[in-house]
Structures are given as C-alpha cells and as structure tokens.
Structure 1
Amino acid sequence: MPATSLTIAEAALIRAGTLAPAERWSSVATFFTSDTHFGDHRTINIQRRPFASVAEMDAVLIDRWNEVVADEDEVWHLGDFARSVRDAERVLGVLRGRKHLIRGNNDPEAVAAHLGWASVRDYHEIRVDERLVILCHYPFRAWNGQARGAVNLHGHSHGRGKPLPRQVDVGVDAWNFRPIGFDMIAERIGAKPKSMAAEPTSA
C-alpha cells in the first residue's frame, strides 16, 4: 500500500490541536524533519531555542513529533538527530513511526548504526504525488530534476537560509519543532498536489 501525506484539511486540524494521528482518515502518512539535536545543550544557545534545559527541549520535540506521527507512518529525518548514541537510544524507542535517517554533519557513526532506523543514507530520492523529491541534509544549489519540478528538502540551515524555488528547509526550527507532511511543503512552494501519494521506499 502506498504511503500518503496528510491532506491540507488534516494538517490544519493538527496545527490547531484538534486532530490526533489516530483520528485522521489517511491510512499511512509521510513526514519530514531535521536538526532535532536531541541531547545537545549547545543547540539551545546557538539557535536560540526557547527552552530552559536540554530535558525540556527533548520533551517538547518528542511530544510534538508524537502529536502528528502515528506508529505506522514513515518519517524521513534529514540529519543531526542526536548528539550521542546514548541520546539516540533514549529517544528512538519513544518516537512514533518508521524512521529513516539521512545523515547530517552532527550524526556520530554510532547513531547512524543504531538498529532503530528503517534505513540510513547520505542522499535519497522519492516520489510524492508524481513529483520527484530530493532528500539530503544540505541544501543544494542544483539538484536532479530541478528544471522539471523536482523539490529539494533539506536541513542544516535551522530556518535561516534563503531557499531557491522548490527548496524547503524541513528542520524543526523552521516548523515549530515538529515534523511536517508534504501538504505543508506544497503550500510553501506554491504547488497544488493531487493525492499526496508517496511511492513505497526500500530500506
């Protein structure tokens, strides 16, 4: 069965806090996120995150992830997941969804090797609603299919970069500390997707 992203109506209800993952009418959804930096106190100061402690930051990130993601959903994390394997072990088991990692510059080898990932890559391409979607931790100047409508999703910039057309930073700092569905990405780039169907991916 192909995965689906949230509908725009569902996304609006989730943002308003009136729709839990179990209540939506889509069967399986696909989400994107990046730069959670679980367990890393430096991120609070460098990125000026509104948290008094690492414990508070991690708790909010976990709660907001689980507010929108159901157990059967696919989640693509585009890098900089956690500071250490101990932090990854503590968090991966409580985060909902089938989780894929696109490695970032702050993902230790032990974090990437953790068995909690459905797949680990440095780069990947998927199709969502017949649109090619390019996944990498870093924003590209040019990417495969760029002239034919392909979308580049990335992290690393913490919401401070200047995106090119059809390029979206999916990092938590840019999206109120929660994963996002392709419907929100389509709104951001001005696209009007049809079914939001995402082709199945191999591990």
Structure 2
Amino acid sequence: MTNWYTADPHFGHENVIKFCKRPFRSASHMDAVLMQNLWAMVGPTDALWIIGDFAHGPKAKDTDWLRKLFDKLPGAEKHLIVGNHDLEPTQALPWTSVTHLAEVRDGPQNQAHTLCHYPMITWNHARRDALQIFGHVHNNWRGSRNSVNAGVDVWDYMPVRFEDIARRAKTLPVNKHWADVEHNAKEI
C-alpha cells in the first residue's frame, strides 16, 4: 500500500480557478482533470490522504453530489484531514478517517509524519526529521525544509507520494522561525 497525499482540490469551486490561476475552463473541467489525475496515480490498494478542502462552493452542501464525487475517488482507504472549507456534509462522507491532525508512518524509516491542513512551525518529532505535510495556502508558499505544501496548486494538480514530498523538502529554505521554537535543534 502506498500513501498518496493531496490538499485543496476544492472540487466544485468555480472561484478557485480565478483565485489560484488554475488552468481550467470551469469547475466541472477542473473536477474531471483532478479526478483523472488521482486515478492515474492512486492504486486500488493505496491510501489517499486529502489534507483539507475537499470541496467548496454551493455544490459542497449538496449531499448527493458530494457522495457521487466521493464514490469516484480511487484507493482502498480515503482519509480526510479537515480543512476550513470541509463542512459537515463533507465530513459525514464514509471516509476511513476524519481528523484535524494525524500522524502517518511513511518513508524509508517508517517515521511518523504530521498531517494538518494548516502550516505549522513545530510538531511531534520535528527535531527527529519528521515532516509536516499541509495545504491551505494554495500556490502562495511551497513550505520550508521540514514542512511541505501538498496542495494541488504546487504539484501540477497531481497527488504525491512521501518520496516526492521529502525530495522537495530538501530544496526548500529552513523556516526562519525554526530556532525560535526548537532551541538547540539541528537546522533541518
């Protein structure tokens, strides 16, 4: 089983196309491409982690539309890390788990990494090379050396594996507040 991560798909949300300069003609075009990209990567035995903002806009209140969308998602497990736009109808879908924060074991050392919709400065095991994977900021910020944005807007509208996130983390700058919150920690 492979864990796949993505954030901020904003299924059904017309305005996100303009706000984030997404290259789609309409929300239905965007939804189709995002779903196609998920199916191109996420296998039938894999886990899909949506790190917030699954759907937004008027359709996000339509339980029938949401259920049909959810039923199209690939993977054996579908997890939701609750974002600011994940209303009760989204949270009520039959996710494998629904939580505001999760620690997921992944990577070559099977390390527990922290998933939260919002970027954080520190988290459990941050001093021991655990990454934080977030969304929320769309294309405004890719993250820092140990806290990486998994949003569709910075990953070509594709889900990503931990290996992709770890590789990107090495190219990002150290968070300028790291020393403020983790005294005597090595610079990650």
* Equivalent position SS for 2:54: coil
Q: How far apart in 1 are the matches of 2:143 and 2:79?
A: 24
- 3-state SS of paired residue (1:51): coil
- What's the CA shift for 1:159? 2.8
1:139 to 101, 106, 119: 119
Contact 2:3 2:161 in 1 (8 A): yes
1:183 to 163, 169, 173: 163
What residue number does 2:104 align with? 126
Paired-residue identity, %? 37
Count of equivalent residues: 163
Alignment of 1:53-202 (within 5 A): 53-83=26-56, 84=60, 85-97=63-75, 98-115=77-94, 117-128=95-106, 129-161=109-141, 163-190=143-170
* Equivalent pair of 2:9/2:34 in contact (CA under 8 Å): yes
Q: What's the offset of the Cα at 1:132?
A: 2.4
Q: 1:46 aligns with which of 7, 13, 19?
A: 19
Q: Which structure's relative contact order is higher, taking Cα pairs within 8 Å and 6+ residues apart?
A: 1
Structure 1 residue runs of 4 or more that deviate by more than 3 Å after TM superposition: none
Q: Which amino acid aligns with 1:33?
A: T
Q: Distance in 2 between the 1:92 and 1:110 partners? A: 11
Deviates more, 1:171-180 or 1:125-134: 125-134
Paired position in structure 1 for 2:182: none
Distance 2:144 2:154 in 1: 16
**CA distance in 2: counterparts of 1:184 and 1:155, whole angstroms:** 15
Aligned letter for 1:96? Answer: P
Counterpart AA for 1:149: D
* Distance change in 2, residues 1:137/1:53 (3 Å): same
Partners of 2:50 and 2:91 in 1: CA distance: 11
Output the TM-score relative to the length of structure 1: 0.76
CA distance in 1 between partners of 2:67 and 2:105 (Å): 30
Structure-1 separation of matches of 2:42 and 2:170: 24
1:2-42 CA distance string (max 9 Å, x none): xxxxxxxxxxxxxxxxxxxxxxxxxx211100100000111
Give the Cα–Cα distance (whole angstroms) in 1 for the partners of residues 115 and 125 of structure 2: 13
Contact kept? 1:31, 1:76, Cα under 8 Å: yes
TM-score using structure 2 length: 0.82
Partner of 2:175: none
